Amino acid sequence: MSLAETIPHKLQANIDSLIDNVTPSPWLSEADKSDYIEKIKALLIEKNAVLIAHYYVDDELQALAESTGGYVSDSLDMANFGAQHSANTLVVCGVRFMGETSKILSPEKTVIMPTLDAECSLDLGCPIEEFSQFCDQYPDHEVVVYANTSVEVKARADWIVTSSNAIQIVEHLMAEGKKIVWGPDKHLGQYIQNKTGAEMIMWQGNCVVHDEFKLYELEALMEKYPKAEVLVHPESPESVIAKADFVGSTKQIIAAGKKSSADTLIIATDHGLFYKMSQVVPDKRLIPAPTGGKSASCKSCAHCPWMAMNTLVNLYEALRDETNTIEVDEATRQKALIPLDRMLDFSHQQGILTAGDA
């Protein structure tokens, strides 16, 4: 087994135990929720802060971001929004690498997260020392990493990509005769390789949510709803992607749903996206792609356990106490900014959406 396979494999037990120990959201009555919401709204004004939420966090946090002049999107778009906003403090509801990406683009701002324990299996499964050692084995290759990585891994990369622009960037590198080391998501990497034919050496990480979508159960669902369109995020297994009518990032899935003439959509991504999807296509029937069925063994069941750690309670406490701030070493930030800016420049020049990971 190569280093690219052994490290993610060894880390799997650790990732699983972290999932098992995720703190569940506290149950709140409607009155308690309203109380927290009002207190958070007041603190956002008092502290000149803006709330930026990922599509996968709970509906009430997405709704709160929208109703307070904040933003709901994917990680890079969240970071872009924060960089352009006049607020001094960015309150990022999502997972840690999202807070870090916001800090990379907005070093002068305070970045607060409801919890610093919200991780991502792609980030956890790609530790910098091992990944760097892996990259060192291929010195004549370009290191291309997905946005779902730590600031240190970003700093080691030549290019950062999102699921919206990865194909175009890889095609650009191929046209320049470059060979590629890819990390960390194996399914996204495989999808890009299938689409482009690029020579790619791949790290074998995965997203615990998308990895659980199951072909057989999806086929059974498709038989039940033969007219449904199937929209799939490319972090899903190849066999599931093969069944898709559309493959794309979260933002692209929303756009595809809007464009679709089908009245039923089967969607293979975190079910947090259904909050936004149901706003955009209120008349369509939205069905989550199956993660288990008869062979159920899922740990996430189409909802990221770490995204679910963001709650009204820890959001309120972090904002009130100004804790859970994201700090990034300045030298590492400067290094990570190079591939990030490279991606942004390329995407602007090509007129490609830059947003669109996780």
Single out the segment in contact with ligand SF4 by CB under 6 A; choices: 62-70, 205-213, 310-318, 339-347. 205-213
Residue type, 301: C
Give me the sheet containing 141-146, strands edge to edge. Answer: 159-161, 141-146, 179-183, 200-202
Instruction: Report CA 317 to chain centroid distance, whole Å.
Output: 24
Instruction: Note whether 93 binds ligand SF4 by CB under 6 A.
Output: no
Using CB atoms within 10 A of its CB, is residue 267 exposed (0-12), middle (13-18) or buried (19+)?
buried
Instruction: Note whether 122 binds ligand SF4 by CB under 6 A.
Output: yes
Tokens representing residue 127 in the block? 């530790």
CB nearer ligand SF4, residue 148 or residue 324: 148
Please answer whether residues 172 and 342 qualify as being in contact, where contact means their C-beta atoms are separated by less than 8 angstroms: no
CA nearest neighbour of 123 among 205, 41, 56, 191: 205
Residue type, 213: F
Other C-beta atoms within 10 Å of 342: how many?
15
Please report how close the Cβ of residue 162 comes to ligand SF4 at its closest, in angstroms: 12
Please answer whether residues 209 and 188 qualify as being in contact, where contact means their C-beta atoms are separated by less than 8 angstroms: no
Instruction: Note whether 355 binds ligand SF4 by CB under 6 A.
Output: no
Instruction: Note whether 256 binds ligand SF4 by CB under 6 A.
Output: no
The footprint of ligand SF4 on this chain (CB under 6 A) covers a number of residues equal to 14
Tokens representing residue 337 in the block? 């900014």
Single out the segment in contact with ligand SF4 by CB under 6 A; choices: 115-123, 225-233, 276-284, 344-352. 115-123
**Side-chain half-sphere exposure of 97, counting CA atoms within 13 A:** 26
Single out the segment in contact with ligand SF4 by CB under 6 A; choices: 189-197, 242-250, 282-290, 303-311. 303-311
Instruction: Note whether 208 binds ligand SF4 by CB under 6 A.
Output: yes
Instruction: Note whether 15 binds ligand SF4 by CB under 6 A.
Output: no
CA gap 100, 148 in Å, rounded: 10
Instruction: Note whether 291 binds ligand SF4 by CB under 6 A.
Output: no
Single out the segment in contact with ligand SF4 by CB under 6 A; choices: 103-111, 203-211, 223-231, 338-346. 203-211
Instruction: Note whether 62 binds ligand SF4 by CB under 6 A.
Output: no
Q: Which of 304, 315, 328, 340 binds ligand SF4 (CB under 6 A)?
A: 304
Instruction: Note whether 336 binds ligand SF4 by CB under 6 A.
Output: no
Single out the segment in contact with ligand SF4 by CB under 6 A; choices: 120-128, 137-145, 176-184, 346-354. 120-128
Instruction: Note whether 207 binds ligand SF4 by CB under 6 A.
Output: yes
Tokens representing residue 212 in the block? 């659980």
Rounded CA Rg of the chain: 20
The residues that touch ligand SF4, with contacts defined as CB under 6 A, are 56, 95, 120-122, 148, 207-209, 270, 304, 306-307, 358
